[in-house]
Structure 1
Amino acid sequence: MDSLTQIVLGAAVGEAVLGKKVGNKAMLWGAIAGTIPDLDTLAGNFLDPITAIEIHRGISHSILFSIGMAPLLGWLISKLYYKTKEATWQQWSWLFFWGLVTHPLLDAHTTWGTQLFWPFDLRLAYQNIFVIDPLYTLPFLVCVILAMRLPRTSEKRKRVNTLGLILSSSYLVITLLLKGVTYFKFTTALDNQNINYTKIDTRPAPFNSLLWSANIDASNHYLLADYSIFDTQSISFIKVPKQHQLLDKVEDKKALSRLITISEGWYAVSKKGEQLYFNDLRFGAYDIYADTLNFAFSYKLVETKNGLTIEEPQRNSEEMKTVLGNLWNRIWGN
């Protein structure tokens, strides 16, 4: 999830664990704990693009990392507040453990997922919430701010903070139910249109849980579709050629294999002039009804003497305004 959401979650967890003893300091350090796992993005600045993608949401998003870092951070903070002795290092460690581990637990609900069980090569991705979802974050944020303004021993403070945790968790459950409903809608439409397919992958569209997208593997091509819970017309499917054969000319097969693994096999190749683009379909296209499909994660493949490198095409701000406008209109049905 986005940084603000992880800060809010970390603050609420910190309050639940230690707020009554140390007050707003629990929220502060909980918020900090909630941001620590995403520091792996800083390491990515010193690595090649493929490796940077591979390590994101890796070790720092694992249970093992949370178990290992929590006692160290707890000990350091206990030394910082050694004069007040409001909490023991074990209590601070417990706060940091929950602040660290709830971060990847939430990330597991997004499309990218997380390697919660690192070093095992298993990425959990339930794909039931977009990485930025105001309906998850804003009510949660309001509850945290209200709780922050109340005395630490106040029962109302505890109730308000608990309400935020309940609302956010309930919303996740609702999105899981919506995922099930929309999955049924997509598969029913495929059956009604006598479309043969081998795999289907569904996820919410950006910034909401009302509009859902689907990728369908149909042999030598993919089908893309979307469905809003307000739709009144039948689901239509957009054909996207896989064109995997275009990658035969790429010499750096090892780097290419790593990129394919990252995409979990959901990729299509496009060509503009002589330039090849690797499109990771898991994150969808900006507008599947546009004349030219532009994918959210589209990598320009550049072969150099040092091997294959990838570059992300520059996004046009004016085009993004149009995309967001189309998305807003599509949410409310066809």
Structure 2
Amino acid sequence: MDSLTQVVLGAAVGEAVLGKKVGKRAMLWGAIAGTIPDLDVAARFLTDTITATEMHRGFSHSILFSVIMAPILGWLVHQIKKRDDVGWQGWAKLFFWGLFTHPLLDAFTTWGTQLFWPFDWRLAFNNIFVIDPLYTLPFLICLIIAAFMKKGTLSRKRINNLGIYLSTGYLVVTLFLKWAAHTQITEALEEQQIAYSKVSTRPAPMNTILWNANVDAGDHYLIGDYSFFDSKPVSFTAYPKKREASKELASRDEVQRLINISEGWYILEQENGQWIYNDLRFGLISIDPARPQFVFRYVLEEKEGVITATEDRPNMENTDAVFGKLWERILGN
């Protein structure tokens, strides 16, 4: 999830663990704990793009990391605060839950997380977008109200817990929404007599009303979307896999690593004389209506026998138009 959401979650967890004893400082240290796992983004400045992408939401987002770092951080804070009524164990408990709930929440997003690192098993339930106001805003409001209440009071505890309950409840609801959208999409495939091997569904940006779908249909992918306000059947657009043309490049180790990251949802194609690697998991963005672009794509270049990848993000100058189209699509076809 986005940084603000993780700060709010960490602060609320910190309050729940130690708020009665240390007051607002529990929120502060909880917010810090909730931020620490995302420091793995520093890998972008220390290594190549492919390796940094592999490391993202890896070790720092694992149970192992939480278990190792919680007592270390707890001991360090105890040396600073010297609170005998809390002890290093109390601070360690705060840090464990702050560190652990971060990747636990990330597991519900499209990117997912390697919660069980070093085992190569990425959890990605694909039921909430990385930025979702309905998850974050009620949570944030409850946290702010709690912060202005007297330490240790029942009302402060209740309002903080309410934020946790509301956000968790919404997360559970999104699982049911995903199931309902996935059902509608698979039924549309069957009604249109489309043969497929697998389907991946995920929410469109910042909502859980509109859902996007990737469909593996043999030598091509189908991409479609479904809104709960739709009145017309789901329509799909075909995107050829172009596997034969990219066979040689796809066999290279660096590209195989990208394929593993994207869990096989990819298209390799040539554009203006350059090879482009498209990661299909995050869908399309219609900056140019005539030619939608995949959100995550990489320009591949070979230098001295090594293939390097450079992230090619969409030009976001026309964001107002993009969000306008998104809102129109949410309201139904």
Fold-level match, TM-score > 0.5? yes
In structure 2, what is the Cα distance between the partners aligned to 1:43 and 1:250?
26
1: distance between equivalents of 2:78 and 2:267? 52
Q: What is the letter of the counterpart of residue 43 of structure 2?
A: A
Moved more, 318-327 or 257-266: 318-327
Q: Does 1:327 align with 2:318?
A: no
Moved more, 84-93 or 106-115: 84-93
Is the aligned partner of 1:41 residue 2:41?
yes
SS at structure 2 position matched to 1:318: coil
Shift of 1:251: 8.5
Question: 1:15 corresponds to which letter in structure 2?
Answer: E
Measured on the aligned residues, the alpha-carbon RMSD in Å equals 1.5
- Kindly indicate whether residue 23 of structure 2 is the aligned counterpart of residue 23 of structure 1: yes
| 5+ residue gaps, structure 2 | none
Percent identical pairs in the alignment equals 56
Secondary structure at the aligned position of 1:230 is classed as: coil
Mean Cα displacement is larger for which, 246-255 or 154-163?
246-255
| Residue of structure 2 equivalent to 1:291 | 290
Question: What residue in structure 1 maps to residue 107 of structure 2?
Answer: 108
> Separation in 2 of the partners of 1:210 and 1:314?
25
SS in 2 for 1:245: coil
Opposite residue 54 of structure 1, the aligned amino acid is: E
Q: Single out whichever of 147-156 and 215-224 deviates more from structure 2.
A: 147-156
Distance in structure 2 (CA, Å) of the matches to 1:252 and 1:308: 12
d(CA) in 1 for partners of 2:80 and 2:287? 53
Q: Is the 8 A contact 1:14 1:95 kept in 2?
A: yes
Residue 93 of structure 2 corresponds to which residue in structure 1?
94
The CA distance in 1 between the partners of 2:205 and 2:307, in whole Å, is 30
Please, what TM-score do these two structures have when normalized by structure 2? Answer: 0.97
Q: 1:176 to 1:289 in 2, by over 3 A?
A: farther
- Structure 1 Cα separation of the partners of residues 319 and 301 of structure 2: 25
Alignment of 1:111-260 (within 5 A): 111-250=110-249, 253-260=252-259
SS class of match (2:317): helix
Deviations 1:180-220 (A, max 9, x none): 00000000000000000000000000111111000000000
Aligned residues: 333
Q: In structure 1, how many angstroms separate the alpha carbons of the residues matched to 2:266 and 2:319? A: 22
- CA deviation map 1:238-296 (0-9, x unaligned): 10111122323438711111111111000012322321211100000114994313000
Q: Is the 8 A contact 2:297 2:313 kept in 1?
A: no
- State the distance in 1 between where 2:57 and 2:267 align: 24
Cα deviation digits, residues 281-315 of structure 1 (max 9, x gap): 00001149943130000111111115111112253
- Tell me the residue number matched to 2:304: 305
Q: Residue 85 of structure 1: CA displacement?
A: 3.2
- Bigger shift: 324-333 or 306-315? 306-315
Q: CA deviation at 1:237?
A: 0.5
1:51 is matched with which residue?
51
Kindly state the Cα deviation for residue 318 of structure 1 after the two structures are TM-superposed: 2.3
Distance in 1 of aligned mates of 2:165 and 2:200:
28
* Alignment partners' CA distance in 1, 2:313 and 2:110: 22
Structure-2 separation of matches of 1:232 and 1:288: 26
Distance 2:305 2:87 in 1: 52
Is the alpha carbon distance of 1:256 and 1:282 closer, same or farther for their aligned partners in structure 2, counting shifts above 3 Å? same
Contact 2:107 2:113 in 1 (8 A): yes
CA distance in 2, matches of 1:319, 1:306: 38
Task: Mark the CA change 1:288 to 1:220 in structure 2 (over 3 Å): closer, same or farther.
Answer: farther
Residues 132, 206 of structure 1: 8 Å contact kept: yes
Native 8 Å contact 2:67 2:96 kept in 1: yes
**Residue 287 of structure 2 contacts residue 318 of structure 2 at CA under 8 Å; is this kept in 1?**
no
- Cα 1:132–1:166 shift into 2, 3 Å: same
Q: Distance in 2 between matches of 1:169 and 1:198?
A: 32
C-alpha separation between the residues in 2 aligned to 1:274 and 1:137? Answer: 43
Determine whether 1:32 maps to 2:32: yes
Question: Unpaired runs of 5+ in structure 1?
Answer: none
Contact 1:238–1:288 (CA under 8 A) maintained in structure 2:
no
The answer on whether the counterparts of 1:224 and 1:288 sit within 8 Å (CA) in structure 2 is: no
The 8 Å contact of residues 40 and 57 in structure 2, kept in 1 or not, is answered as yes
The one-character-per-residue Cα deviations of 1:30-64 (angstroms, maximum 9, x if unpaired) are 00000000000012311100000000000000000
1:48-87 Cα shifts (integer Å, max 9, x gaps):
00000000000000000000000010011111111x4341
